[in-house]
Structure formats: C-alpha cells, structure tokens
Structure 1
Amino acid sequence: MTSLRPLPIAAGPAAAHALPVLRDAVGGEFAVLPYAAGGDPVPVPTGAVPDEGTALVVGTSGSTGSPKLAMLPATALAASARATHERLGGTGSWLLAMPPHHIAGVQVLLRCVAAGTEPGFVDLSDGFTAAAFAAAADSFDGDRRYTALVPTQLLRVLDDAGATRALAGFDAVLVGGAATSPALLVRAREAGATVVTTYGMSETCGGCVYDGTPLATTAIRTDEEGRVHLGGDTLASGYLGRSDLTAEAFVTDDEGVRWFRTDDLGHRDPETDRWHVDGRIDDVITTGAMKISPRVVEEALTSLPDIAEAVVLGLEDPEWGQVVAAAVVVAPGVRHPSVVQLRDALRGGLADHALPRRLVVLEQLPLRGPGKPDRAGIAALFHTRP
C-alpha cells in the first residue's frame, strides 16, 4: 500500500529542500502531496489511500471549481519527462519561475530529477518580476537550459529589455497554464525566444501537447461534440478518494484504450495537422441564439496593437440571454479605449454578434492557480465598475 506524505514547498530557492523528497517519491518510496509552504496542507478525503505506484498527488479543479486530487504514477511522470526532453532536443537544466506546488512548477523540479541536473530558481519573494527573472537567468548554468512560464509572466518579461535578452538565451521556453495570444507568441519569437506552447492539465502530468502536436507518449481525439480526449502514458490513475469522479473523467473505449475527458473543445487543422483548443465547454457564450467561443474574441482583441491581454466571458442579459464582455489590459502608455472604439476596431474581423458589448480595463488580470485568469473574479468586476 502506497503511503501519502504532505510536502510543503516554498517558492524560490527554498524549493531546493523538496528535491530529495521528490527523488524518493518517484523512486517508489511513497507518494507526496505538495502544498505551499506556510499555508495549510491540502485536505484529503477521510480514509483515502493512493493507488499503488502513485508518486505525486496534485490538486486540480474542474469546470465547477470543485477541488480534486489527481494521482500521478511514477511511470507517468517518467514518461512525461522523457517525452518532453525528446521533443525539446535533449535533457537539460530547468529554471523554476513559478510556484512549485502546482503541476507546472513541480514538473520543473521533477524533470531535473529525471535528467540528473540541478534546477535554478527565480526569487519570488516579491512575486514574479522581470528583474528577478533576468537575474536568475544570468546566473543559471547548464549545457541545455529550459524554463516554463505562464502567458502573464511572458508578457512581463517582454516588457523589460534585460529580461527579454535573458529569455532569448534559453534553448526552449514552455508557455502554458492559460491560452497564449498569437500576437504575444509572435512578439516573443521576434525577440529571439524559442517559445513552445503547451496544453495539458494535472490529470496528464501537465503539458502533453506542444505547439499543437502531442508528445510521443500522448494520444488525442475529439468526440462528436468536439470535446478533447487525451490518452497515453502520462494519464493519472484517477482522483484520490473519489471513484465517482474518476469514473466520469476517465473512460475506456471499445478497444481497451483509456482516455481522460477534458472540459475543452478543440479541433485538428487538416492543413497543418496541429491541434487547436477552442475554449472550455462551459465558457461558450450564447447571445441572441448565436454561439461564440471566447478564445476567438480574445485572440482578435490581443491582435490589436494597444491590447496586451484580454479575457472574454458571457454576462447574463435580459434581452440577449448573454452578452459578450471583455476585460482587457492595455499596452503601456495607451489611453483606455471605450467599448465603442473596441467594437469599431474589431468590426470586420469578427461577426457582429461576437463584438463585445461590455468592457472593463484593468491594470492586470486577476489570476488563480499557476497563472490562469480568474474568470469568476473578472465577472464580478463588471458589477462593481462602471
């Protein structure tokens, strides 16, 4: 029977103290449940015991925000690290730039464990800053150097000349945790950064589809409603103490292949053979009987030169059912646009029913977890701001 140990992990250089414990966990000694040092341990269902072979248990939330604990076998974590290094061109050292108790952060440490390399650390005592990233990158050695960022971090780095130069020195920069605008990717690549978009979740050991192409260990398909299913060697065995949720999320097809049913809609581009995520099923906006993917509107907004970041969601409306609402962060030095100005700028590129009818301009987007936009928090802002 696999035992479970809570593992407090501090952000920044102090995360190095967790490395020996993580090595023992992937070596089969026990399973660990990371949480932020200084906070409360993650609650575990009474009497729950991890599946045999589990090395890591990580918290995750579905579309309802209900917390669940995904059980990741040591074999799945090893497959994930191996496939990642193969795709990126070889094993290397990783710079940790995000909190290490979420899947994206702890995977940075585990990839180093798998490769036998030492990680570097960004000082996060004042939160993530471009200056701290640049300082850590400049003192970070390795034959091959990698890091992982969320889109908001990438934006902050690109707004700083020194941090941008440091970013360009990495062999690859994984960007995930939330949708990354095409305009931001173009900007990063023009600055010399080798950015690789990632798609995945806690249930798949983090990112398992890179730049729209699944890793060697990953299978991907969609069902009749366009829901993305992920399969392969990096899948979690299930949710700790929740056999009911496990049965809903993990399914086995007629050929005996096991799949994880995501909450995302997606499609494969027949010309490029790359997969695209169109957004979450529960985020689709229905306005005047027309359905709109928020991600399409977000990409249109961030393609405008004055818009740095955008989150689009549906707000209840007595006339339309829902209206398209946009929360945006403008580029430095740009005057705040009006909703009329944004609609005019987008008209022609988007269908009229997809044009935002509500707008709020923010200094920065509220985030949750490892860099995901806090959509519930953003929705509340429309009721408190003019």
Structure 2
Amino acid sequence: MNDSGISHGDNAARERYYDEIRPLNLAPLWRVLKGLVPAQPVPAAQPCKWAWDEVYPQLLRAGGLISAEEAERRVLVLENPGLPGESKISDTLYGGLQLILPGETAPAHRHTQSALRFVLHGSGAYTAVDGEKTPMQRGDFIITPHWTWHDHGHEGSEPVVWLDGLDVPLVTFLRAGFREEYTQKAQTTFQAAGESTARFGSGLLPLDYVPHGLTSPLFSYPYARSREAIEVLARSAQPDPHLGVCLRYVNPVTGGWTMPTIGTVLRYYPRGFTSRPYRSTDSTVLVGLEGEAEIRVAEVSMRIGPNDIAVVPGWSEWTVAAQQDTVVFSYSDRPVHEKLGLLREFRG
C-alpha cells in the first residue's frame, strides 16, 4: 500500500487512473518509455531493391497514360514496403523515378525541400535552376537547392529517366514545407549554360568571395569528371575495408556536403572485393552505375547492376561483395546526423 491507499499491483486502479487523466491530455510515460527511448534505432523501413528491368517498362507505360505537364512531375515513387502509402524510400528520405519524353516540359516551381537528380537513362533532357540550364547525361548528379525555381525539358529524341532524391520526410516532420508555382510554364534562362561550373568548378574564386547559403553553388557534377577522380584514387590507394573506395561530392567553396540535409557519395568496389560489416545511423540509397555487386543487409541479399536501386535503412548492418569492378552512387541523410551530433557508426 502507498499513501493513496492503493496497492502498487492494483491493475484495475491503474486503468481507471489512465482513463481519468486522458481528458486532461496527460499520459503515463512509464507505459511508452522503452518505445520512446529504445536501446538502439529501430527503423520502420525495410531493405528493398528496385530492379531497372522491372521499373523501366512501367515508366514507359506511364508515359503513354499522362503527360509531363499534366502530371507536373511524371514520377513513380520508390515506396518502401515497410512504409506503405507514405511516399518514403526510407524513414527519412524520398526517392522517385522521373520520366520525360521528347518535346515535353515539366513546369517550373520551387519548394523548401532540397532535391537531387541522378540521371539513369537517355540524353537530350535538361534541368534549369534559377535561370541556368544544364544538360543531363547518364551518371550526372545535379542539385536543385531548396527554394530555387526549377523546371525540366527535353530537346532530344529518346526517353530520359532520372532518380529524384529529396528530404521530404524530414521537412514534413519539421512542418517546414513551402511551395510556389512559377508564373509561366518554364522559367526564363538568363545565364549561359555552364556558367556555374565556370565560376565555381575551376578551383578558382574571386579574392573577396564570401560563401552564402548552405547549398553548393555548383549544381551540376558530370559523371565523366567524377568517374575519372574515383578511378585515379582506385589505382593509387587500397579500398577501405568497410566502404571500398568512397568519395563524397563537396561544396567547392566550403569543402562541406553539397546540400545541408542530403549527403551524396560515389563508391567503387574492385572485382572480388568483399567489405567488412558496417552500420551507421543514416539511411542510405544505393544506385548501380557500372558492374555488379551483392548487397547484403542483415539476412536480405540484393544483387544490383546498372540502374538498379537499393535502400539500406539506418542502423542496419550491411556488406558489399563485388562480382565485377563496380561503381555505385549513393545518397543519405548523413549531414543531418553529423550536424546534430547523432551520427554513430559500427565497423565489424
């Protein structure tokens, strides 16, 4: 018995108590404590693979059913099976495959969510960001900084597909999402194509240049240049036993990540390489570019080749076994974990 005259083991009294405090918008922490503060992260997302030879025909079908302008963005969302109906590829990230056909324009808009475009198939398309067009070639990584006007168009002759990666779940959780439509179908371009590359991609800056904003001013990272860098490093250094040869895309004026909420990385695994077990708190999306490798996440095995996409939920142990020389692009929410002091890694 305690001072209230009720036994601590009186479950009926406890239930009455819970019922009585509920109208006061009160709840007992002791009933949910271990769920609120778990011993380790428990992602709702599941390891999953989207095979290119299965999804590409479905994109072409969508192209025959709805125009890019009518859809605004003709995208098939990569929906994690552990998060049905939530438009999430992981607990914290969005992923989708966008198709644009010759002659189409995806109308201009802007939003507070940061976005990346990673080109998978075709040529002749472009994306325009704040008045500058950039062509889209397979393997190119292109940034759409938050709250910048952007639209997409196609001046070529074949279907073009790219992966959209956004921080939508994070921004939604913070209730910080804004969006605005452009007054015309497409924005007016007033900068020469390649101007941002000339200004910020040469390794030179004006003496008095002061960085502004949190996103890289270099918004196009062509694959040809990135591939050359990782190939040189692969020849001159042993791969990390957990990560392989791993290079992060950087903001050229700060040396930091290209975006404040999404970290992008290019990975190389030589033929016959098998990584040691690794896990980290950030969720990671992997995109096959060249070669073939087996990604094992806990007990789930996923073989990825060119244009295949896989997701590794946060704090999931994973390894890579390369059957061929393999190049993989990835994006994750690692910058957020780093800035908040939450990043934790395990290397087996």
Q: Is TM-score (shorter-chain normalized) higher than 0.5?
A: no
TM-score, scaled to structure 2: 0.27
TM-score, scaled to structure 1: 0.25
Higher helix share: 1
Select the structure with the greater relative contact order (CA < 8 A; seq sep ≥ 6).
2
